Amino acid sequence: MRIPAHSVCTAIRDDIIAGVFAQGSRLTEEPLARRYGVSRVPVREALRTLESEGFVVTRRHAGACVAEPTEREAADLLEIRTLLEPMGAAGAAQRRTDAHLKVLRGLVRLGQERVRRAQGEDLRSLGGWFHETLAQASGSVALTALLTQLGQKIVWMYTVEQPADPGEFWAECGAIAEAVARRDAERARFLTARHAERRTALYRLRNRAGVRALQHGVNTASGPH
């Protein structure tokens, strides 16, 4: 695999999130450089960035390793999201553009159509797109970046069950979109807070035990520590 040097950080992060590198496994510069077809310099820089994001830790005598978050740390991420998403929705109600609103309403219609046709395979990605658009509509680059990073970590640590009533899930999204359309910040905040709390109940910690540190026969880690 050969990728641009500036994309190394994204590639390693994506592989960590996907479980290609198991939690606790070592991340050694030279094998990683070979894996991605780059020199060791961008790999070293990427590992520093990923450490600042919480995906990587540096251990004495072991070097860079994939982080092993505790259950408390994982739970904190969901709690933080329940605080930030309502803030983003309120901001979206105040600063959304017509283009944002068009996308939000379009996603709601698409989600509801998928529910009616019992096409559940796309619902999770559509829901993620809805909440990403809601964050972007807030007009806050900092908040959007925080929610994006939270989302990446949550995908890494959790699996998500389908809601018992997908129709209710999308009805809630529709109500949020209409509050944003009416520029009713408090209503958008309230609805999103309730929606976030209900979504949290669907998350289950991912069991990474037994996940291979590497795939495709590439030896870039030495196993859990």
CATH 3.40.50.1470 fits 5-66, yes or no: no
CA angle, residues 3, 8, 10, in degrees to nearest 5: 110
Question: Hey, what CATH class is 71-205 in?
Answer: mainly alpha
Residue 80's pLDDT is what? 97
What type of residue is 92? A
Instruction: Please name the residues in contact with 61: beta carbons below 8 A apart, sequence gap of 6 or more.
Output: none
CA angle, residues 118, 120, 126, in degrees to nearest 5: 125
Mean pLDDT per block of 10 residues along the chain (225 residues) reads 85 96 95 95 95 94 93 96 97 98 97 86 86 97 95 93 90 98 98 96 75 36 35
Residue 219's pLDDT is what? 36
Q: Which of 92, 213, 97, 205 is nearest to 154 (CA)?
A: 205
Residue 125's pLDDT is what? 87
Residue showing tokens 């019992």: 118
Q: What is residue 206's DSSP assignment?
A: -
Residue 208's pLDDT is what? 54
> Where in the chain are the domains?
5-66, 71-205
Query: Which H or E run contains 32?
Result: helix 29-36
Query: Which H or E run contains 128?
Result: helix 123-137
Residue 156's pLDDT is what? 95
